[in-house]
């Protein structure tokens, strides 16, 4: 499959937005790989999947889906026949009948992980200080501040509903495993990646390598694009 015929579509995770992919997108575009980013409503897993499906409807030709963290569940929930590969960036990959929360809390988090609970409006937000201690500890202070300012809260409805048959059971998956992730434990990521039989690339990066190590993220995506078959 020629890289020029493929479109890479990026789904951001909780407490981020589509701008979190900007560095990776620029790298792919410099290699003549098409890229599309979009914003998830983070209101429910079904809403987020519907938003992804709308994006996929507008794309002609094969697609490689890229999902960060929570969005791993989103990219595996579409049934679009255009998808040729899935790329997980520290992504969550519940199996059929599991919830996102089930896999997120499968193994114990370390003491740098923030405590998460809904606010008075029922949405889960990340404490501002967590962006420097757990979410993107390898980012610059300016990047951490920008991430905190742009964060999008997530609804419990995104993470408490069991998923259907995930797409990773039908299409190949790649997994960037973040070894210094304080949001999703390395052990949890490895369990999910191995269960999917994904092609694993493990690096000493934080939870947001799209910001702090974009070259590594881009290299995994390029590999998925080149090796996926139409």
Q: Do residues 76 and 100 make contact, with C-beta atoms less than 8 angstroms apart?
A: no
**CA 112 to centroid of chain Cα atoms:** 21
The chain-wide mean pLDDT, for the chain, equals 94
Q: Which CB contacts under 8 angstroms, 24+ apart, belong to 166-169? A: 166/73, 166/76, 166/77, 166/93, 166/94, 166/95, 166/96, 167/75, 167/76, 167/77, 167/78, 167/79, 167/83, 167/86, 168/76, 168/86, 168/93, 168/196, 168/198
- Report the b/e string of 82-109 with b at 16+ CB within 10 A: bbbbbbbbbbbbbbeebbbbbbbebeeb
64/208 Cα distance (integer angstroms) = 20
14-66 pLDDT, tens digit per residue, is 999 999 999 999 999 999 999 999 999 999 999 999 999 999 999 999 999 99
pLDDT at 3 over 90: no
* pTM for the predicted model, two decimal places: 0.95
CA distance 220 to 175: 8
Question: What's the CA gap between 196 and 188, in Å, rounded?
Answer: 13
What's the CA gap between 209 and 179, in Å, rounded? 11
Higher pLDDT, 81 or 109: 81
- Could you report the per-residue pLDDT of 150-170, keeping only the tens digit for each? 999 999 999 999 999 999 999
Over range 209-219, report the average pLDDT: 98
Sequence-distant (6+) residues with CB within 8 A of 224 are 64, 85, 87, 172, 174, 199
Four-residue CA torsion sign, 85, 191, 183, 121: positive
When pLDDT is cut at 50, 70 and 90, the band that residue 230 belongs to is very low
Query: Could you say which architecture CATH assigns to the domain 3-227?
Result: 3-Layer(aba) Sandwich (3.40)
Say what the pLDDT of residue 1 is.
Answer: 47
Q: How many residues does the chain have?
A: 230
pLDDT over threshold 60, residue 2? no
Is the model's pLDDT at 227 over the cut of 90?
no
Contact 15, 128 (CB under 8 A): no
Q: Are strands 83-89 and 63-68 parallel, antiparallel or unpaired?
A: parallel
pLDDT band, residue 229 (cuts 50/70/90): low
């Amino acid at each position: 499959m020629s890289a020029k015929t493929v479109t890479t579509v990026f789904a951001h995770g909780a407490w981020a937005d589509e701008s979190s992919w900007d560095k990776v997108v620029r790298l792919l575009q410099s290699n003549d790989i098409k890229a599309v980013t979009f914003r998830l409503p983070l209101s429910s897993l079904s809403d987020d999947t519907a938003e992804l499906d709308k994006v996929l409807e507008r794309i002609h030709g094969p697609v490689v889906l890229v999902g960060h963290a929570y969005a791993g569940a989103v990219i595996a929930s579409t049934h679009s026949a255009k998808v040729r590969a899935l790329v997980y960036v520290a992504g969550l990959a519940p199996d059929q009948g599991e919830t996102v929360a089930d896999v997120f809390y499968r193994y114990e988090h370390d003491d740098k992980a923030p405590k998460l609970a809904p606010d008075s409006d029922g949405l889960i937000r990340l404490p501002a200080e967590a962006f420097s201690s757990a979410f993107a500890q390898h980012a610059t202070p300016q990047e951490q501040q920008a991430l905190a300012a742009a964060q999008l809260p997530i609804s419990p409805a995104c993470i408490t509903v069991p998923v259907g048959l995930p797409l990773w059971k039908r299409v190949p998956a790649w997994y960037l495993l973040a070894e210094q992730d304080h949001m999703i434990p390395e052990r949890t990521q490895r369990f999910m990646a191995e269960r999917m039989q994904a092609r694993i690339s493990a690096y000493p990066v934080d939870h947001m390598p799209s910001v702090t190590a974009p070259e590594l993220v881009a290299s995994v995506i390029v590999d998925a694009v080149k090796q996926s078959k139409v």
